């Protein structure tokens, strides 16, 4: 561990001003860095394919991670909670951060290979919803995620945090063109189901007997576009009590993912 006492130390540049620095690669000046917060999430980052650049934390949290950090060549900076807060721009209750680079994006074939259950997202632009979807996908046996237009960056700091680091383990990539790219999914033997609250949609049990299923989920407000629904094999809905017309997209995804685990052949 390298002890750091000066918040202006240039070696901490990757961790600086996290509340204002936009590190998404799709924005001007974005560095494309992956930020993990807390012992649990940092541990998942260390177990992932993302190349570690550096770790910053208070000594107690770094001690918790000592077995995971053993043999790593990346620098590990130890500092006080006060210096850490000055560097990152806010008080970090979790006490440790790790920064990693981004490996090359997976191809669609990489995500589909060996998969039986997929989530395909359109217009999920809220970072917290996206992170929650990845956490639910990991918990409920979804093998990969395909991102259509309008989705936020799954590796944005807030998404990584809300996913509890599971976004670093669940394979994902972009699917284009949209929605005709769904044909690539269908060609691999997936039954494509569009999740919608529309009364005309059939039950989730439409997946019964399928060997592979991809469930389409849309944005929090308008949901899936008509074009995406038309490109699916079937439109399905979650039955709900009267007076309730929809669920949060992450909650709806969790229900669908759980149901698909029962319906697959």
For the chain, percent of residues with pLDDT exceeding 90: 79
How far apart (Å, rounded) are the C-alpha atoms in residues 136 and 255? 9
The pLDDT of residue 55 is above 80: yes
- Checking if the pLDDT of 28 tops 50, the result is no
pLDDT in tens, 116-130: 999 999 999 999 999
What is the CATH class of 108-263? alpha beta
- Whether the pLDDT of residue 22 is over 70: the answer is no
- Residue 68 and residue 38 in contact, taking contact as beta carbons nearer than 8 Å: no
DSSP-derived secondary structure for 112-123? HTT-SEEEEESS
Q: Which CATH class is domain 2-100?
A: alpha beta
Distance (Å, rounded) from C-alpha 130 to C-alpha 155?
10
| pTM assigned to the model | 0.93
3 pLDDT above the threshold of 60: yes
Domain boundaries, the chain: 2-100, 108-263
Residues 9, 143 contacting (CB under 8 angstroms): no
Note the pLDDT tens digit of each residue in 158-176. Answer: 999 999 999 999 999 999 9
Provide CB contacts within 8 A for 177, sequence distance 6+.
Answer: none
């Amino acid at each position: 561990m390298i002890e750091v006492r000066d918040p202006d130390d240039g070696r901490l540049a990757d961790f600086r001003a996290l509340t204002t620095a936009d590190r998404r690669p799709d924005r001007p000046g974005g560095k494309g860095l992956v930020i993990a917060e807390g012992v649990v999430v940092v541990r998942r980052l260390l177990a992932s394919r993302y190349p570690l650049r550096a770790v910053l934390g208070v000594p107690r949290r770094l001690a918790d991670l000592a077995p995971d950090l053993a043999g790593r060549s990346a620098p590990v900076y130890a500092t006080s909670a006060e210096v850490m807060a000055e560097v990152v721009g806010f008080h970090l209750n979790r006490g440790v951060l790790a920064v990693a680079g981004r490996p090359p994006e997976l191809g669609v074939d990489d995500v589909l290979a060996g998969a039986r259950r997929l989530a395909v997202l359109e217009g999920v632009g809220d970072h917290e919803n996206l992170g929650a979807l990845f956490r639910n996908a990991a918990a409920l046996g979804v093998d990969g995620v395909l991102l259509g237009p309008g989705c936020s960056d799954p590796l944005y700091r807030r998404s990584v945090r809300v996913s509890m680091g599971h976004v670093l383990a669940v394979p994902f990539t972009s699917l284009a063109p949209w929605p005709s790219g769904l044909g690539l999914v269908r060609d691999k033997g997936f039954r494509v189901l569009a999740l919608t609250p529309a009364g005309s949609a059939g039950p989730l049990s439409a997946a019964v007997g399928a060997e592979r299923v991809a469930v389409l989920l849309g944005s929090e407000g308008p949901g899936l576009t008509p074009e995406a629904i038309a490109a699916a094999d079937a439109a399905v809905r979650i039955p709900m009590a009267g007076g309730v017309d929809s669920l949060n997209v992450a909650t709806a995804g969790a229900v669908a993912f759980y149901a698909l685990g029962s319906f697959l052949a």
